[in-house]
Every structure is written in structure tokens, then in C-alpha cells.
Amino acid sequence: MYTRILVPLDGSKLAEVALPHAVTLAKQSKGTVVLLRVTQPVTAMVMPEAAYVDWDRIQAEIEAEARAYLADVSARLAAEGLAVQTQLKTADPAEAIIETAKTGGADLIVMATHGRSGLGRWVLGSVADRVVRAATAPVLLIRPAEMPGE
């Protein structure tokens, strides 16, 4: 039923609560899980000290850490016999998820939601909400019963 399942991850345990659901669906349909890690571009802050910061090096370190994270998660899923692909993008998270789903032919997006409400949602926005509103593929949102680590 689902041949390409996109799973956006931000490197947190919270985001990984979507993985068991994606794994189950991929196994049932013999589909491919596409792991997406989106990093946001590092920008120079407007401070006198910022002139001495190597922003390119910081961005490279963030991307290297993201690649290592994707390799780890990919290896865990491959050990379960799944076909897994990884993608790393530097962009606005919601926009990157929507675009990756569209251009990559994802027929399902499985992602965790932080479950914010009220002021926190208004101030911080919701990547999940933006994805649900703009994605052309169905979106399965997983809200953890409790936050990992609590």
C-alpha cells in the first residue's frame, strides 16, 4: 500500500517515536523508509564577537552530526530487514519535508508531533501543522503518550 514512507527526524528521542509506526507500515507493504534530517542554516548573529566565529565550520559540524545520526538510525532499521534511504537537507524544516515528500514520491509521511498548544504553539509554530496543511501525501502524526526522558 505504501511504497515510500517519509520519516522526518530532528535527532531527538521524541521524533523517533514515529519510527515503530513507520517500520510496521513499511514491513506490511514491503515499502522503503526514507529518513529525512533537516538542519537549519547557521546565520551570523549581530554581535561584535560574531565576526570571529567560523560559521561555515559550525554548519559543517552540524551537518556531520546529522549524517552520523542518520547512519545510525538507518543501520538500526536495515537490521530489521527494511529498505532504507536517507536524506539530509539544510532549510526550513516544514518546507523541506513538504518538498522532499513531493519530489521523492512519498506516499505517506509519518512524523511525531510535540503536542504544544496555546502560547507555545503560537510562539514556536508547528512544523507538523504546516506539513499537514501543505503536503500532498497523507500525514500520520504520532503524539507520544509522554515525552521521552520524562
119: containing domain = 4-142
Q: Residue 28 falls within a domain, yes or no?
A: yes
- Residue 150 included in any domain: no
More confident residue, 122 or 28: 28
Mean pLDDT of 90-98: 95
Q: What is the pTM of this model?
A: 0.87
SS3 3: coil
Whether 33 is covered by a domain: the verdict is: yes
3-state secondary structure 36-93: EEEECCCCCCCCHHHHHCCHHHHHHHHHHHHHHHHHHHHHHHHCCCCEEEEEEEECCH
* CATH, residue 106: 3.40.50.620
| C-beta of residue 73 within 8 angstroms of C-beta of residue 16 | yes
Q: What is the mean pLDDT of the chain?
A: 88
- Does 81 have pLDDT greater than 70? yes
The domain tally of the chain equals: 1
